[in-house]
A = this chain, B = another copy of it.
Amino acid sequence: MKIASPKGTRDFYPEDMSLQNRLFSVWRETALLFGFEEYEGPAFEHVELFTRKSGDEIVKQLYNFKDKSDRELALRPEITPTLARMIAAKGNSLKKPVKWFSIPRVFRYERMQRGRLREFFQFNLDIVGEASVSAEAEIVAASVQTLKGFGLSPADFRVCVNSRRLMKEMLMASGIAEARLDAAYAILDRRSKVEPGVLSEMYKEASFSENDIRAIEDIFSLTSLQAIRGRFAQSQGVDAAAKELEDFFGLIKNYGISECVIYDSSIVRGLAYYTGIVFEIFDTGKTLRAIAGGGRYDSLVALFDGEETPAVGFGMGDAVIAELLKEKGLIPSYTKQTKVYIVNFNKESLAPAIETAALLRSNRIETEFALKPQSPKKQMETAQAARYVLFVGGEEWDKGQIKIKDMKSGEEKTTCKNDILQHLVF
C-alpha cells in the first residue's frame, strides 16, 4: 500500500528543488550583500517560547506535542522568538547592533488555501540593537534588493509602509483607550480584506461604540502624512510619529528606491508585538497575498529576560514569491547540470569511463557516465545537456586516445588522453 505525504507538506523532486535553491540563493546573496550574518535555531522549541510572545491562542496554530520525557514542545511557526531567545542568552557579550538573517523551515497548522502551506521556508532579516529609523530603512532596502535579485522590476511590487506608533497616537488622540488598541489593530489588519458588513460585525463583536467606530473610520479617510498632520495638528505625539515616518522616507530616497516604497494607512500587521514602523510588500495590483512583511518590535527581547532592546525584522515565505515569479516567467527551467558526459557503451568501456571521470572530477569538473553500458544512441539523449561528450574505450583508448564532441559547435576531435583537460574549456 502506498503512503502519502502529510497534508500541507511538499515533496521536492529535483525540478522543484531547483526552484527552492534559486529562492535560497537569492535570499542568501542579498543578505550577505547587505552585511547580514546567517544564524539558525532548533526546528522545535519549548511551547512556552511561542505562547510567551503570542499568547495561548497561538497553540491552535502549532504542531505541539510532548516528547518522551513529557517536555511540552512545538515545531516553530516562526523563528523570531528563537532569535530573541538567542540574543537574550548572550546578553551584553554580543556587540550591537547585530544584523542577522536566517532561512528557517517553519510549521503552521492552518486551514489550507492557495499559497498557504503547513510547512514552508521563510527568509528572515533582523537588525537588533538599533533604535533609529536607519534600521527600518536598511531592512526595507534589503527587501527591495531581494525582489530585484529575482529579476522583478520596481514596477512589479509596492512596499506599503505605516507606523504602529502613528496609529496609536491618532487612535488615542481620537478618544480610543490605550487598553483597546490591540483589539483595534486586530480589526484594522482585516479592514481592507473584508466586506463593509463583516467589518461592522467585527467592530460590534469587539464592543467598540458608534463614536469609537466613527473616530477610527475617520482616521482611515486620511491617506497621506500631510492630511494626517493637518487633521492632528494639535497632537505632539502624532507630530513626532509622523516626523519619524518622514525621516524614514528621507532615507528611502537616499537608497534610491522611492518609486516602490509608499505610505499606506491600511497596513497594520495582525501581530500584537509591533511597536513602530510596519510594512508589507504586495505585487502591484494586489492579486496575491502579501509577499513579505515586517516592522519594528522593541519589546520582544526583554520578554525573554534580555534587556529592553530595539529591533526591526522582516519575513518572506517561499510560496507567494514563487507564485509571482512563475506569473512573471522569472523561473529558469530546470535541466540537470553536467559539464561532461562520458559514453559507456560496452563492458570494456566502464573502466576507462571511471578513470576519466575520476580525473575530471578531481579537477572540479562535473562529470557523469552511464553506470551500466548502454547503446551510444540511448546515451546521447541524456548527454544533450552536457557541454562536452567523451567517447572512451576500444582501440582508441588502447592507443591512449579519447574522442571529444563539443556539444555547442557540434565539432568532434580525437586527442591524447593525457591532454584531455586542455581541451575542455568552460
- The chain A residues found within 8 Å of chain B, CB to CB, are 1-7, 9-14, 17-18, 20-21, 32-35, 37-46, 48-49, 52, 60, 63-69, 71, 73, 75, 82, 85-86, 88-90, 97, 100, 105, 107, 109, 119, 127, 130, 132, 134-135, 137-138, 141, 145, 250-251, 254-257, 304-305, 336-338, 350-351, 354-355, 358, 361-362, 364-368, 371-372
Contacts and interface: CB of A to CB of B under 8 A. Distances in A.
Given A41-B11, A358-B254, A358-B256, A35 B86 contact: no
Contact of A35 (B20, B41, B368): B368
Contacts of A20: 40
B67 A39 contact: no
Nearest to A59: B68
A79 to B, nearest CB: 11
A340 to B, nearest CB: 10
19 contacts: A2-B89, A3-B49, A5-B45, A5-B85, A6-B44, A6-B71, A11-B40, A11-B42, A18-B38, A33-B367, A34-B366, A44-B119, A63-B65, A65-B65, A134-B371, A134-B372, A138-B371, A145-B361, A256-B355
Most chain B CB neighbours (cut-off 10 Å) among A2, A46, A134, A138: A134
Q: How many chain copies does the complex carry?
A: 2
Contacts of A43: 9, 43, 75, 105, 107, 119
Contacts of A364: 33
Nearest to A386: B35
B3 A33 contact: no
Contacts of A127: 371
Given A14-B38, A14-B39, A44-B9, A33 B361 contact: yes
A257 B75 CA distance: 43
A335 to B, nearest CB: 10
Given A132-B371, A361-B34, A354 B41 contact: no
B255 A354 contact: yes
Given A42-B5, A107-B43, A371 B141 contact: no
Contacts of A100: 14
Most chain B CB neighbours (cut-off 10 Å) among A35, A43, A69, A107: A35
Nearest to A369: B35
Nearest to A355: B254
Instruction: Return the 4 tightest CB-CB contacts between A and B, nearest first.
Output: A65-B65, A9-B42, A35-B368, A14-B37
A366 B32 contact: yes
A42 B6 contact: yes
A213 B220 CA distance: 85
B37 A336 contact: yes
Contacts of A52: 3
B48 A3 contact: yes
Most chain B CB neighbours (cut-off 10 Å) among A44, A49, A86: A44
A337 B32 contact: yes
Nearest to A21: B38
B35 A366 contact: yes
A66 to B, nearest CB: 8
Given A134-B350, A304-B2, A10 B355 contact: no
Contacts of A355: 254-256
A16 B141 CA distance: 27
